[in-house]
Amino acid sequence: MGSRASIQLQEAELNEIQSETGFSHNQIVRLYSRFTSLDKGAIGCLSREDFLRIPELAINPLGDRIVHAFFTESNNETVNFRQFMRVLARFRPTKSNQNKNKLNTREEKLKFAFRMYDLDGDDKISKDELLSVLHMMVGANISEEQLGSIADRTISEADTDGDNQISFEEFVQAMERVDVEQKMSIRFLH
């Protein structure tokens, strides 16, 4: 399976993806193999349904939002391998001494996280959006009143300009003490 993936992925494209994303040659080949196994139609692109066949995403309460992020990157109904890799690159661990890959910086990780909450894409997180995401994350485990209280407190603590919404700049400020680099990193096989 690995050899099939390396044959279909041209060396020049592999080198470009490696330079753009920071993944190693072997990681790209393995992820390409995973990508092609998800591509049931063998068309070189993944649909939303293909992503939802990934068990970890299917059971993740934010699975739909994560899948949505792949399609925001492609701005299309399908995602090709390069777009797939660009999104995954945001989850690579950040190494302070090796930051030539601009996709996995703290700012890019924060932009990705912000988009998880910005459901309507207006570059602001409203109380309703925050409540929707909280519902996705906790389901019926917390009462509406408690969720409303959490949302109100979050907005009041993060909203510095008084518009009752959280802008990206306010989000960054609110996340200042959070180790985003560690929390938004996945160890990929070497």
CA atoms within 13 A on the CB side of 132: 12
**What is the spatial distance between Cα 171 and Cα 124, in angstroms, rounded to a whole number?**
9
What angle, rounded to 10 degrees, do the helices at 144-158 and 127-138 form?
Answer: 130
For residue 132, with 0-12 CB atoms within 10 Å meaning exposed, 13-18 middle and 19 or more buried, which class applies? middle
To 5 degrees, how large is the angle CA 77–CA 83–CA 89?
140
Q: Which amino acid is at 82?
A: R
Q: Dig out the tokens for 66 from the structure.
A: 């994560």
Whole-angstrom Cα Rg for the chain: 18
Residues 6+ positions from 28 with CB-CB distance below 8 Å: 9, 14, 17, 18, 21, 85
**What is the spatial distance between Cα 95 and Cα 190, in angstroms, rounded to a whole number?**
15
The reported pLDDT for the residue numbered 176 is 92
Alpha carbon 133 to chain centroid, angstroms: 15
The reported pLDDT for the residue numbered 159 is 96
Q: Dig out the tokens for 76 from the structure.
A: 């299309």
The reported pLDDT for the residue numbered 35 is 92
The reported pLDDT for the residue numbered 152 is 95
3-state secondary structure of 79: strand
pLDDT in tens, the chain (190 residues): 444 444 478 889 999 999 888 898 999 999 999 999 999 888 889 998 888 888 888 888 888 888 888 887 667 789 999 999 988 888 887 765 454 567 788 888 899 899 989 999 999 999 999 999 999 888 778 899 999 999 999 999 999 999 999 999 999 999 998 888 777 777 665 4
Tracing tokens 């063998």 back to the chain, one arrives at 42
- Domains in the chain: ranges and CATH: 2-89 (1.10.238.10), 102-181 (1.10.238.10)
**What is the spatial distance between Cα 38 and Cα 45, in angstroms, rounded to a whole number?**
9
The reported pLDDT for the residue numbered 155 is 96
The reported pLDDT for the residue numbered 188 is 60
The reported pLDDT for the residue numbered 57 is 82
